[in-house]
Amino acid sequence: MSPNRKETKSPPKDQQQHLVIDIGNTHTVIGVFKNNHLENHWRINTKKNITADEVILILQGFYKFQTAKLSNISYAAIASVVPAIQGQWKQAVSTCFSLKPFLIQAPLCSSFTIDIDVPEQTGADRLCNVLACQALGFHEAIIIDFGTATTFDIYKDNHYKGGLICPGIYSSLLALTQKASKLSEVELYWNDELIGKNSDDALRNGVLYGTLAQVDGLIQYIKKTAGMSRAKVLATGGLASLIGKRSSNIHLIEEDLTLMGLNYFITLQLASNINV
């Protein structure tokens, strides 16, 4: 029996599910996969001082309104960019599902080479996005994740080549409105007219059209400098659809890409007999 499961009776294989948890700086996303299909997912605000007991209540609360059973979770994986609360989530998963979750770490991502100066510095979410590209069968990809930061990751021929980190859309908006007394936060939606006729529209258009120009410009520059003219360009994250649908350079919008990578990570770990 895998050390990632405690001594409990496993559900039938056709009922087995994978629990995946992506802990980001702003949001935490929880997903359940069955036969590589995302059955359910939930998004909550990331609480930086959350306790294990609170996490248990959250997980039990989600399952209370689902037809699935807690006991059907066979394996779990966590990707976290918030180290301070990683232990609480790990403990809660262990308590709720009687298993030890996998933790995404650079040394365990053996299906590709991390070609950067210090591989251990690579964010867990970025590792997951590369894994998802592998799961989708892409050999050359630019992955854009619209989160607290907007990140660009470059994957080519089983090598993670590094990437770019830019201020996120909401992070930029919040920083500007906090520094400029006469500007207030605005709802983000597209206006057909580029030139704003009032402060709110000017700010809204500046943020959205400015981000679009940044994204399209960087995609072209990356393709040229990295020799990746045939690269697939994927967008993920909470604001992926908002920008991705306006970009002529983004080929695929997959808001659950990180969860897909987590699920694929579990599959690889089991297949390689590491920790099994």
For the annotated catalytic residues, the residue numbers are: 125
The C-alpha atoms of residue 81 and residue 145 are separated, in whole angstroms, by: 14
Please give the C-alpha separations between residue 208 and each of 113, 169, 186, 188, 201, in angstroms, as whole numbers: 34, 8, 11, 8, 10
| Sheet containing 113-114, strands listed edge to edge, beginning at the edge strand earlier in sequence | 113-114, 159-167, 149-156, 140-146, 232-236, 252-253
Output the six-digit token pair for 139.
Answer: 């050999």
CB atoms within 10 A of CB 61: 10
b/e map of 148-183 (b: 16 or more CB within 10 Å)? bbbbbbbbbeeebbbbeebbbbbbbbeeeeeeeeee
Nearest to 147 by CA among 162, 116, 126, 177: 126
Say if residues 222 and 228 touch (Cβ distance below 8 Å).
yes
b/e map of 194-231 (b: 16 or more CB within 10 Å)? eeeeeeeeebbbebbeebbeebbebbeebbeeeebeeb
